[in-house]
Structure 1
Amino acid sequence: MNAPRTPGTPGAPGTEERLREALETLAGGVHAAPDAYRAARGGWLRRERRRRLVLAALVTVVFVLAVLAGLWVLNQAPTERGAVFDDVHGGGRPAAAGPVTAET
Structure 2
Amino acid sequence: MTSKAPEEEFSIHWIRDITEEVLKRNAAVYLISTGKSPSGSIHIGIMREIIIADVIKRELLRKGNDARTMFVVDDYDPVRSFPASVSLNLEDWVGIPYSDVVDEFGCCDSF
TM-score range, shorter chain: under 0.3
Larger radius of gyration: 1
The structure in which a higher percent of residues are helix is 1
TM-score, scaled to structure 1: 0.22
